[in-house]
Structure 1
C-alpha cells in the first residue's frame, strides 16, 4: 500500500524510542535465540514464567519468525524483556489458532498436558487472519514502572515487527488489571475485547482469562508514520 510506513520512517521511529529509553536508563539488545532468552527470563525474580508461546521446547521459534528484546540498566542488569512471534493464519483465524492450542504448542497433542484448553469468546478474533504477530512476555522491573515507559517499550516491538513482517495484525493478551489501569492504552493498542483467551494449562499452573488487544496493519503503519513525522519536525 502506498500509505505504508517507509524504511526511513520505521528507522526514525525506532531510533527515537531507543533515545527515550536510554534517557530513562534502559539500553536494548535483541536476538532470536530463544534458548538464550529463556535462560535470561528464568532468572528474573518476580517475573511470571515465560509461557509456552516463547519456549523453544514447546514452540517453533525459527530465526526470522520470532525475536526478543531485553533492556538492561547502566549496570548491565536486566530491567525489561518482551518477545514477538509471527504466525501465518491465512488458512484459519486467531480464535481457532488459540483454541487449538497451536498458539502455545507446535504439536498440542504431544506437548499439552492433560486438561489443557483454551476458549476464545472475543468476536473479532474470528476475523483476525493473515500474517499475525503476537506480542507477549512483556515485563518491566518495578523500580522503572510509572515513568511513562510503556509506550516506548511496546513501540520498539511494534517498529521491529513492522520492519520484519508488516503484519496484517499485531495483538497481545493481557489481564483485566492492565485494562483497568489503562496500561493497554499506554502501549498504543486501539482495540480490546474481553475473554480473548480463557486459557487452562494445569501442568503449568496457568489459569488465565485475558483480554485481546490489537492493531490492524494500517493502524500500525499510521502510528509509526505519525511518530516519525513528529520526530523529524522536532529535529528540523
Structure 2
C-alpha cells in the first residue's frame, strides 16, 4: 500500500501546511541538485553542500533524491534538508557503512578520513532493504522562528515526503553528539539514537567529533505521522509582520 493513500498522511500534511501558512512560511521541494547547490552557495554560504548530495559524485534525480527548503515571510532561506534513497542490496546498514562511511562526512573542513572510523551499532546490524539517508538539516537564525516548534514541523514534512516517494524500510541520519544531547533527534522525530557510531578526526587534532546513528523503521515512521502534530510539538503562534 502506498503511504500516500493513508488517511493519516493526508491529515498530517493538511495540519502542517496550515501551521506553515499561518506563520507565512513557504516550502519548496525539488530534485535538481545543481540548482540546490547554487542556491546554497548564495544563501547558505556558512555551510557548503554535504558530500552525500554532491551531484558531481552521485546520480541524483527525482527517483533517487530530493531537497526541501523553507523560506520565511520575507523570502529568506530559513531551513534546508535533503533525502536520498539507498538500496543496501542484501547487506545490513552496518556492513554497508563499514566500507562507505567516508561518503557521508560532516560538513566541516580538514577531516582526517584515514583516522576516522565507523562502528556498527546494534540497530545498524539489523537494518536492511531500501533505506533513506536524511541529511542537510539546517535551521537558520531567523529571529522569531528559531527555538519554536517549526523545526519539528518541517523535519516531519520531509520525512513524510520520503515515505510518500519510496515507502522505505528505514529512514536514518547521523547526528553530532553535542546536537543529540540537546534533544534535536527527538524533536525531529527519530525514535532510535545509538551513540558511538561515528568518530571523525580533524587533521592535527586528537579530539574526535562523535556521531550518533539516528533512525526510524517504516513502522516507527507510520506511528509518528499518525500522531496529531499538536501532540508532538508546541505549535508556535503565527508570526506577524512588523508595521
TM-score (structure 2 length as normaliser): 0.79
Q: Aligned partners of 1:101 and 1:29: how far apart in 2?
A: 30
Counterpart of 1:179 in structure 2 is: 180
Q: Tell me, what secondary structure is at the counterpart of 2:91? A: coil
Q: Alpha carbon RMSD of aligned pairs, Å?
A: 2.7
1:164 aligns with 2:165: yes
Counterpart of 2:99 in structure 1 is: 100
Kindly tell me the number of residue pairs found equivalent between the two proteins.
Answer: 218
Could you tell me which runs of 5 or more consecutive residues in structure 2 were left unpaired when the two chains were aligned. 105-111, 232-243
Counterpart of 2:130 in structure 1 is: 131
Q: Tell me, what secondary structure is at the counterpart of 2:156? A: helix
2:30, 2:66 within 8 Å by CA — same for their partners in 1? yes
Could you tell me which runs of 5 or more consecutive residues in structure 1 were left unpaired when the two chains were aligned. 106-112, 231-236
1:101, 1:117 within 8 Å by CA — same for their partners in 2? no
Q: Aligned partners of 2:161 and 2:224: how far apart in 1?
A: 13
Per-residue Cα deviation, 1:170-217 (whole angstroms, up to 9, x for no partner): 111111122211111111111110122334687xxxx74211111111
Q: Which deviates more, 31-40 or 92-101?
A: 92-101
Q: Aligned partners of 1:56 and 1:46: how far apart in 2?
A: 18
Q: Tell me, what secondary structure is at the counterpart of 2:100? A: coil
Counterpart of 1:108 in structure 2 is: none
1:79 aligns with 2:78: yes
2:101, 2:118 within 8 Å by CA — same for their partners in 1? no
1:227 Cα deviation (Å)?
A: 2.8
Q: Aligned partners of 2:32 and 2:222: how far apart in 1?
A: 27
1:9 Cα deviation (Å)?
A: 2.6
